[in-house]
Structure 1
Amino acid sequence: LQIPIFHVNGEDPEAVAQAVRLALDFRNEFQRDAVIDMYCYRLRGHNEGDEPSFTQPLMYQSIARQNSVRDGYLKRLLTLGGVTAEEAEQIAKDRHAKLEADFTAAKNRDFQLSNPTPIGPWDKYYGGPAANAPNVITGVDRGKLTELLEKLTHIPEDFHIHPKLVRAMERRRQMAEGREPLDWATAEALAFASLAVEGVRVRLSGQDSQRGTFSHRHAVMHDVKDGREYMPLAHLSPNQGSVRIVNSPLSESGVMGFDYGYSLDCPEGLVAWEAQFGDFANAGQVVIDQFIASAEAKWRRLSGLVLLLPHGFEGQGPEHSSARLERFLTLAAEDNMQIVNPTTPAQYFHCLRRQVIRPWRKPLVVMTPKSLLRRRECTSTLAELSRGRFHSVLPESASRLTGRNTRVLLCSGKVYYDLRQRRQELGVEGPPIIRLEQLYPFPINQLLAAFAPLPKGTPLVWVQEEPENMGAWRFLRAMWDDSVCQRYPLRCISRPASASPATGSKAAHEREQAELVDRALRGD
């Protein structure tokens, strides 16, 4: 590693302080890590009520004979004549009185924890309630998008691209000309590119993130003759922000933790961690629980980290189907994070740009698609990227909602396309479908606006691919019970409650999915 290790006696406070200063100076000067090896002992075991001599009697007999660190340091100061015993005693009394005063104040009914104004790189950003978050415009001029997309297809003449990527580059050129709609990966690339040319640092890491788990991204290409790399996102403008897309080791907790730490020092950037499959995020659950979901409440530490979690039931088995949406919704409280399940490339584009443009900093959890990456209906136009913003709720046309509906379907994510396709196959107009694109903070006002054309008493049916005990259903049920705002009866159509997220049989999955979709459309 070529880094120093400073060994220091933990019972010598001045030596410890010197080692810390030296390590910080080294890190500041050489931009490399430093390790402090402080040797000391644990005075009271695991906590103040623990009795460590139960298991280490001899060691704790020796510890009992030791002077405390304060007594040893005071003895040294008295020998040097740097302080008198009376002065030392007064310092201790003053400190104890200050702590008692603060403790008494904290027990006061009207006590409010101080929340100092962020400084340094955080002085432009804030957290707090979702009501503080501005509704920003995230569109980019169409001409600029076309220019960026053309640059993303430019490959140096001496670079030998993989033959299978030639067609992909040509298709993107057609997208730039408006002859082809934009797929998911292209919308993502344009989100990264548009932010980069605005001077924003972009970082994405994950297992196979350069190519993309589903061979859809190809942000970093490899010369087939000499193996060198080329990333078009890094060659957009002389003054662009840094773009790093890296393949990470197979350690979800380690890499997610690193990227969380990166986000703490880069609030102005787009910092994202991507799971190979959303299911694999469970190996980083400790980082999600102890830092991402709760750091603002515990320590007033904000983070804009983005988690990209491929999610969707497509017959790939119980370990490759679910990003465990229900776990994130269980952790959601006090507007601590954002949880979205966008269904169009344009929505994803606006969501990523919103994360950077507005100064409200919260972690963003994105349920990203798998099969939708190549589904023809899941496309957007350049016009949809050039105008507007992210929409938390996507209702169908007003004409569908104002018709004579026996019920309205609510859903989130890929199942929308399955419902729509089956509805077309049956040749029926209804029932209309409303997509919930953001699940937290819950967009109640936008949802009620979508319900406005509906008569009171119109039944609502929540449709989800996940088993009844997973997905968003129980989160919604806890919020609404069996009716939305006591106006619209609510029930759920899903797979039965299950200990496993999904079946391991492709045939069983397809049968279950068809039955679920048909039940929703028939109104069973």
Structure 2
Amino acid sequence: MNDRYSFLNAIHFKDIEFLYNKYKENPNSIESSWSAFFHGFDFGKENYKNIQNVIESKDIQKEFLVYDLIHAYRKRGHFFTNTNPILQNRKKHIHSLDLMNFGLSEKELDTYFNVGKLIGIGKTSLRNIIHHLKKIYCGSIGIEYMYISDPEKIHWIEKWFFKEKLQFSTEEKKFFLKKLNEAVTFENFIHTKFVGQKRFSIEGNESTLPALEEMIEYTSDRYLTEEFIIGMSHRGRLNILSNFFEKNYSQIFIEFQGKEYKEKNFSGDVKYHLGFSKKRKTRKGKYIKLNLVPNPSHLESVDAIVEGITRAKIDITYNQNTNKIIPILIHGDAALSGQGIVYEVLQLSQLKGYKTGGTIHIVINNQIGFTTNPSEGRSSMYCTDIAKILMSPVLHVNADDVESVIRAIYFAVDFRMRYQEDIFIDLLGYRKYGHNEGDEPRFTQPSLYKVISKHTNSYELYKTKLEKDKIVSHNDIKNMKKEYENILNVKYHEANHIKWNVLNSFLEEEWKDIPIVFNNEEILKEVDTRFSIEKIIKISHKIFSLPKEKKFFRKTEFIFRKRLEMIKKELVDWSMAELLAYGSLLYEGYHIRLSGEDVARGTFSQRHAVIKTEKEEEIILLNQICEKQGKIQVLNSPLSEYGVLGFDYGYAMCSPHVLTLWEAQFGDFGNGGQIIIDQYISSGEKKWKIRNGIVLLLPHGYEGQGPEHSSARIERYLQLCANNNLFVVNCTTPSNFYHLIRRQMKLKFRKPLIVFTPKSLLRNTKCLSTIKDLSTGIFQEILDDPYVKKVNKITKLIFCSGKIYYELLNKREYIQDEKTALIRIEQIYPLKMDEIKKLIDKYENKKEIFWVQEEPENMGLWSFILNKLGGIISFKLIAPSESSSPSTGSYPDFLKIQNKILKKAFF
């Protein structure tokens, strides 16, 4: 006998009984394979007898050898499937499932074993056991699941796969063939009509189309699902848009023809990046909503957006019922394993403020990434190995076997609905052409493409099968093809007579009452953000008074006591103004979502929107203002910028009446989410006609804390500004920040708002506002010098933005300068140029105008200001010299640099 099984010689009934009793107390208290073994039996007296039958068997060692074989099929059967339609190479180092490796031989094939009960076929021969195991684990579907720690979940998975194989009706099989025909014919039609144009065809994974069709059919019928949010990259996107989303074929053909957009305010995007929303019928006549989220070439960036949209709809539309809506992410194999955003999004999947009831992941596995082989593109065995961090099951499926693909879909849906967790389907197919249809793949993969060129596609394979089974006839197939080709031809000719391209907007229903605004007059129009003093004071007492019956940390009590004392003096600091802005909006019925690293307390211990008792009970006083108020979610996020910012952008994408804010721990870390900022926040409206009102809070300011805790890189955001696409603001007073936040919801339109927020100013004794400022004021884009008494005395104007103002103010007071006026630009974009000109004209005796900033000369606002105002105003710059690093790491050096700026400003 193989040495590795010699331990069985020492196993006795009492040993196994002991293990079984331990298992009953706690399944996790014993080794996982024994736990799985015992869980294979149902609980109860009858099944305890089954165990005894196994234990008391005459050949106990053989029983356990067969059990070990069963366990190996469960754990490693996926290595020995026929899931790969074009390649059959096996990993050489993987231990095979040959009998000899388990201390068994062909002599035992007809011997009956009790362990057959473990796989639901009763006491039977080893031959039958192996046949059954191969059918379950080594067919067109290979399943990975034995790393799951929950025995009940393992049992449910096995029970699902052990049941009788799904039998599809004649009509269903004809429908699958119809969809495969559409997938193939659509690609061939475009290939001939638009020669050489990129389309990123679905060929090699055509079964994705019937899979999606069957998913919506199954979920809407069995689980009453009403909506799907789908994210996918370009591979197969046009086919899915036309044949699943039912986007008008003529519209797609217009996009291939490259016709101009009728609306000149939108640049549009390439056709295989565009989003689409559609309400359509299932085959059984149920209406469902389908949404395909716009996606740039940063392939997996859409994952976070999809989850955010889904969560918003769960919160707002579906009253927390996650069965009503399902997020579907369709990945490419190379992108799934190569892009870190996947990991970030998966880590959000079970968190309170971010979970969406489980995502169905479908991998269109082409087994190549552009020109890169899997062996060059990842270190893991499978592209789906990241699923194991969540202990999500993975199904590897032969994409040529459409019925197995549908079966995998049913399993994925049932698992998601039962456990509210993610599930992965790896559709192993191929890519018929190169990365795009003009690319030559034989430069880099000549052997692979020799195989692919001779491979029969899934439509032809399934057609042959159905013809052989006499389900369809030659005439049926001929008529089906002709009917679909006629539709394509009609739509092609229609497209030739349409003059303009039209940019289909995404989530139009959700934004029907919110206009898209571009003109300066509307963008810069003053907005009424007033709120009565009486209500502000009332809200203040609600949100700054700790519950008397609870015990809090001494410093927490001090902070809240100080806030109440300031309210008595009718003063507010920055953090109070922020909380009062939220409180006033909540009072008016708006909902708020505040998310980011450490936002509950605040990075600088300033916010305390969530307070904890000594027993760590969480209290959000903002949710206790009045009966019919809106609700605020305050969510500490994982240490992630890319994933969380994408999620919150997605949340804001379909919730225009919710104030959605994302805060970076330090503004410098915003660059971790740069792809979301570049590809979505700044350009989504122009490319995809998407509106979004997300607010980014980015702490910014030079306090000698080093290069990574100084600059939020204001200059980068300003480079992204054009066509009134963003608001970029750097406030210096609590009241202006208060009105800014209120303005964001009072606007008739929505634009992303980038706010550079303070650090040291949070506790600066001069950075205070009155409650009257909050009540009667408005947001001011430009702040004139409030301390100038005699305008005709002013000979020097200093323009600045942000914290440097207070340092200039202190310096001016110290040297008793009365000739210099300090003017603050609070809203940097869009810039109120007319108001700046008026202010300059106001100071008639000015001789010099300076721009002062604490950022190095090649950073900060200077380049933007010079570009916008340099032609009409003669500025002189005062700033640290240009630098490749935002700031020095030495505090004494920092002080020298700051003092040098201040000295230059006044002497």
Which secondary structure does the structure 2 equivalent of 1:32 belong to?
coil
User: Which has the larger displacement, 37-46 or 369-378?
Assistant: 37-46
Matched, 1:160 2:455: no
- RMSD of aligned C-alpha atoms? 2.8
Judged with a 3 Å threshold, the aligned counterparts in structure 2 of structure 1 residues 509 and 398 are, in CA distance, closer, same or farther, namely closer
Aligned amino acid, residue 19 of structure 1: M
Name which of structure 1's ranges 72-81 and 280-289 shifts more when overlaid on structure 2.
72-81
Q: Distance in 2 between matches of 1:88 and 1:269?
A: 44
Q: Distance in 2 between matches of 1:52 and 1:263?
A: 41
The 3-state SS of whatever aligns with 1:245 is strand
Q: Aligned pair 1:183/2:183, yes or no? A: no
Distance 1:85 1:118 in 2: 33
- Separation in 2, partners of 1:457, 1:395: 15
> What is the CA distance between 1:34 and its match in structure 2?
3.5
Matches within 5 A, 1:78-97: 79=474, 81=476, 83-97=479-493
Does the alignment pair 1:295 with 2:684?
yes
Matched to 1:227, the amino acid is E
Name the counterpart of 2:849. 460
2:885 aligned to 485, 494, 500, which one? 500
Cα distance in 1 between the residues matched to 2:739 and 2:456: 62
Structure 2 residue aligned with 1:222, among 612, 619, 629? 612
Are the equivalent residues in 2 in contact too, given 1:138–1:350 (CA < 8 A)?
yes
Q: Which residue of 2 aligns with 1:11?
A: 206
CA contact (8 A) 1:400 1:432 kept: no
Shift of 1:342: 0.3
Q: Secondary structure of 1:319's partner? A: helix
CA distance in 1, matches of 2:517, 2:323: 32
Q: Give the Cα separation in 1 of the matches to 2:505 and 2:362.
A: 33
Residue number in structure 2 paired with 1:383: 772
Distance change >3 Å, CA 87–CA 469, structure 1 → 2: same
The superposition leaves residues 127-175 of structure 1 with CA deviations (integer Å, 9 ceiling, x where unpaired) of 3314333421112100000000000123223321110121211122123
Output the amino acid matched with 1:163. Answer: R
In 2, Cα distance between equivalents of 1:253 and 1:274: 12
Provide the residue aligned with 1:276 in structure 2: 665
The answer on 1:433 being equivalent to 2:822 is yes
- In structure 2, what is the equivalent of residue 37 of structure 1? 362
Moved more, 117-126 or 251-260: 117-126
Pair 398,220 (structure 1): closer, same or farther in 2 beyond 3 Å: closer
Which of 488, 510, 518 is equivalent to 2:903?
A: 518
Quick one: structure 1 residues 78 and 466, their matched pair in 2 at CA, closer, same or farther if it must change by over 3 Å? Answer: farther
Rg bigger for which structure? 2
Amino acid at match of 1:345: P
TM-superposition CA deviations, 1:273-297 (whole Å, max 9, x none) = 0011100111110110111111001
CA shift for structure 1 position 329: 0.3
In 2, the alpha carbon distance for the partners of 1:489 and 1:85 equals: 71
C-alpha distance in 1 between matches for 2:441 and 2:543: 63
Partner secondary structure for residue 81 of structure 1: helix
Instruction: Name the CA distance, whole Å, in 2 between partners of 1:53 and 1:22.
Output: 41
Within a 5 Å distance, the mapping from 1:447-486 to structure 2 comes to 447-455=836-844, 458-481=847-870, 483=871, 485=872
Aligned counterparts of 2:806 and 2:505: Cα–Cα separation in 1: 47
Name the residue aligned to 1:261: 650
- 1:170 counterpart residue number: 561
- 1:318 and 1:504 in contact (8 A); partners too: yes
Contact 1:188 1:349 (C-alpha < 8 Å) held by counterparts: yes
Query: Which 10-residue stretch deviates more, 365-374 or 49-58?
Result: 49-58
Structure 1 partner of 2:694: 305
Alignment of 1:345-364 (within 5 A): 345-364=734-753
Out of 530, 536, 539, the residue aligned to residue 139 of structure 1 is 530
Q: Which residue identity is paired with 2:581?
A: A
What is the alpha-carbon distance in structure 1 between the residues aligned to residue 361 and residue 756 of structure 2? 40
- Return the alpha-carbon distance in structure 1 between the equivalents of residues 571 and 783 of structure 2: 20
* Structure 1 unaligned regions, length at least 5: none
Paired with 1:60 and 1:84, the residues of 2 have a C-alpha distance of 30
Question: Larger deviation: 91-100 or 380-389?
Answer: 91-100
Asked if the contact 1:118/1:125 (under 8 Å) is kept, the reply is no
Amino acid at match of 1:196: L
Give 1:21 deviation, angstroms. Answer: 4.5
Of structures 1 and 2, the one with the larger relative CO (CA 8 A, separation 6+) is: 1
**How far is 1:228 from its partner?**
1.1
Distance 1:266 1:62, change over 3 A: same
Change (3 A) 1:256 1:182: same
Q: Is the 8 A contact 2:792 2:845 kept in 1?
A: no
Q: 1:73 to 1:227 in 2, by over 3 A?
A: same
1:20 deviates by 4.2
Conserved 8 A contact 2:728-2:827:
yes
SS in 2 for 1:432: strand
Deviations 1:28-84 (A, max 9, x none): 437623414252432323222222233333332333234567777999787582735
Work out the CA distance in 1 between the residues paired with 2:544 and 2:731: 26
Shift, 1:210, TM fit: 0.6
Question: What code does the residue aligned with 2:823 have?
Answer: I
Change in Cα spacing, 1:86 to 1:180, as seen in structure 2 (3 Å) is closer
Which residue pairs with 2:76 in the alignment? none
Superposition TM-score, scaled by structure 2 size: 0.53
Structure 1 residue identity aligned to 2:625:
L
Q: Which moved more, 1:60-69 or 1:119-128?
A: 60-69
Which whole-Å CA distance do the structure 2 matches of 1:72 and 1:128 have between them? Answer: 53
Q: Would you tell me which structure has more helix in proportion to its own residues?
A: 2
> Equivalent residue of 1:327, what SS?
helix
Please tell me whether the aligned partners of residues 641 and 673 of structure 2 are also in contact (alpha carbons under 8 angstroms). yes
Residue identity in the other structure for 1:15: A
1-side partners of 2:473 and 2:687: how far apart? 40
2:703 matched to which residue of 1?
Answer: 314
Mean Cα displacement is larger for which, 285-294 or 35-44? Answer: 35-44
Structure 1 partner of 2:44: none
Identity of aligned residues (%): 37
CA contact under 8 A between 2:531 and 2:776: conserved in structure 1?
A: yes
Which segment is superposed worse, 45-54 or 352-361?
A: 45-54
Match of 1:197 in 2: 587
Cα distance in structure 1, aligned partners of 2:823 and 2:503: 42
Amino acid at match of 1:289: D
Checking the alignment, whether the CA contact within 8 Å between 1:405 and 1:430 is kept in structure 2 is: yes
Q: Deviations over 1:163-194 (max 9, x none)?
A: 012121112212322x1521000000000100
* Counterpart contact for 2:795–2:846, Cα < 8 Å: no
**Contact 1:401/1:454 (<8 A) preserved:** no
Work out whether residues 211 and 218 of structure 1, in 8 Å CA contact, stay in contact via their aligned partners in 2.
yes
Q: Which runs of 5+ in 2 are unaligned?
A: 1-147, 161-175, 181-204, 226-321, 326-355, 364-426, 467-471
Deviations 1:292-336 (A, max 9, x none): 111001101111000000000110000100000000000111111
- CA distance in 2 between counterparts of 1:451 and 1:118 reads 45
Residue number among 415, 438, 452 corresponding to 2:804 in the alignment: 415
Structure 2 counterpart of 1:191, one-letter code: A
Q: What secondary structure does 2:598 align onto? A: coil
Q: After TM superposition, give the deviation of residue 123 of structure 1 in Å.
A: 1.9
Are 2:794 and 2:845, in contact at CA under 8 Å, matched by a contact in 1? no
Q: Is the 8 A contact 2:853 2:860 kept in 1?
A: yes
1:405 and 2:801 are equivalent in the alignment:
no
The separation in 1 between residues aligned to 2:459 and 2:791, in whole angstroms, is 76
Residue 384 of structure 1: SS of its match in structure 2?
A: helix
2:591·2:632 contact (CA, 8 Å) conserved in 1? yes
3-state SS in 2 of match to 1:322 = coil
